[in-house]
Amino acid sequence: MTVIALRHFIDGTWVEGGGEALVDVNPSRPSDIVAEGAGASDADVDRAYAAARAAFDGWRRMPARARAGILLRAADIIEAHRDEWGRELAREEGKTLAEAIAETGHSANILRFHAQEVERQSGGVFESPTPGERILVIRRPVGVVGAITPFNFPISIPAWKLAPALVWGNTVVWKPATFVPVLAMRFAEALEQAGLPRGVLNLVNGTAAVGEAIVSHPDVDAVTFTGSTKVGRIIAAQLAARGVPFQGELGGKNASLVLADADLDVAVEQVAIGAFRAAGQKCTATSRVIVHHAVADEFLRRLAARTERMVVGDAEDEAVEVGPVVDGSARDRVAAAIARARTTATAVVAPEPYAAGDLDDGYFIAPSVFELHEDDPGELWTEELFGPVIGVRRVSSTEAGIALVNDSDYGLSTAVFTTGLADALSAIEDIRAGVVHINSASAGADLHVPFGGSGASALGPKEQGAAAREFFTETATVYLKG
């Protein structure tokens, strides 16, 4: 298959990087090289920031409707290439083809939403105690934004960060995850073809060192980041010392609570979807399941059967439900945790690792389910594994179940399965999470509503929906007297 030349988009021009060599491989078939080239150097990052700073004044002064028009044209370009770029996404990142095509189309809708959002009221007029005076509250862009995005949603997460940043008048220096440069290039190409002025968006591919250069650069006015809690907190501390705003969508250890009156057909299917799609590599993926004693045996029997039916394989195969994890180190890390769980928990479904030669030696992990020991549930209960693995615990009441949902440093997303209104209302009231699903999978977020968590799952303002403008704009209060 074609090997794509890895490039960077700096000051309106596609250029080769001056940094270390990068090789992007297909996690379903690691012998298939998807893209290669040099990553960005510190000098490339400096040029990107210089371009973003030079472009900022003209971009912020462009009428909001004109900025929105560029996003709308970019959305149409993405939509026209949805199937083609979706297949590239499946090849590059390992998401199944159906999910990859859907994500690509979703990114176009995100651009459209934010293009329309900028037409809404963004300020206000207040009465003043002083005669002849009015008080205005206006919104202004924050300036040059550094954006660092993860591998697991290589086009939709960039869309939900960059679309509001751009439409509200900011310029951007963006580093995608090392594993997904091609989809980042496609996103930047769409904006370029839509007429984005030079310097407004600058794409620099590379390793963590490029991210560090973005964060530490003296010209950055704000940083938006999606990634691990550990890395996010390090970045936040560095920026706080310099007074630079930070927005972090961080880790998750998401629970599904299955109560005694749950529809088990719904619960089993939604737990399996939430846990195993994208090979468990979603910050909102289900990794903890809490089930009422009254239905636990039947639930586990059905979940085991559903898990064993999961079709694992090449992400570009339309019959596959679970693709690979993103690279060999992720596979080895998850496999090691499963091996340890075999000695500390009860295996419900825990296939042996694939032997050499199976599934073309891709980075595959078979979906696994363990029932955890109550006295020591271990790492499957506490650590974000980012793989297709579920840890299960039993409870005897709704109250005990909610307590176990909250038994985590994280607070991103939760799913509750019940047919009882009172229990649903209790869960909504008492669960500490930024997203609560009733009778649907924990994984998933709509573009028009706020997204983000609490505790170790987030820092700073929430993303998506109207909430997105809170980070990418700052208010100014104006006292106006004739």
The residues annotated with a catalytic role in the active site are 249, 283
> Do 160 and 153 touch, CB atoms closer than 8 A?
no
The label of the residue with tokens 């910050």 reads 283
Cα torsion at 333, 338, 340, 342 (round to 10°)? -170
15 strand-pairing partners: 8
Q: How far apart are CA 434 and CA 450, in angstroms?
A: 9
Residue 469 makes CB contacts below 8 A (sequence gap 6+) with 117, 122, 139, 164, 168
> Do 213 and 174 touch, CB atoms closer than 8 A?
no
413 strand-pairing partners: 435
225 strand-pairing partners: 148, 248
Which helix (H) or strand (E) segment holds residue 44: the answer is: helix 42-61
Q: How far apart are CA 298 and CA 267, in angstroms?
A: 11
- The token duo for 85 is 């770029």
What is the separation of C-alpha 159 from the centre of its chain, rounded to a whole number of angstroms? Answer: 10
- The token duo for 267 is 């619960």
> Do 145 and 60 touch, CB atoms closer than 8 A?
no
- The token duo for 474 is 């700052």
Q: How far apart are CA 409 and CA 458, in angstroms?
A: 11
Question: What contacts 24+ positions apart, CB below 8 Å, involve 348-357?
Answer: 348/300, 348/303, 348/304, 348/307, 348/392, 349/303, 349/304, 349/307, 349/308
C-alpha dihedral sign at 231, 234, 238, 243: positive
Q: Is 196 left (phi over 0), alpha (psi -120 to 50) or beta?
A: beta
The label of the residue with tokens 């030669």 reads 357
The label of the residue with tokens 């297949």 reads 87
Q: How far apart are CA 174 and CA 185, in angstroms?
A: 11
Q: How far apart are CA 314 and CA 90, in angstroms?
A: 9
Q: What is the number of helices (H) and of strands (E) in the chain?
A: 15, 23
- What are the two backbone dihedrals, phi and then psi, of residue 42, each rounded to the nearest 5 degrees? -60, -40
Q: For residue 267, how many other CB atoms are within 10 A of its CB?
A: 25
> Do 369 and 350 touch, CB atoms closer than 8 A?
yes
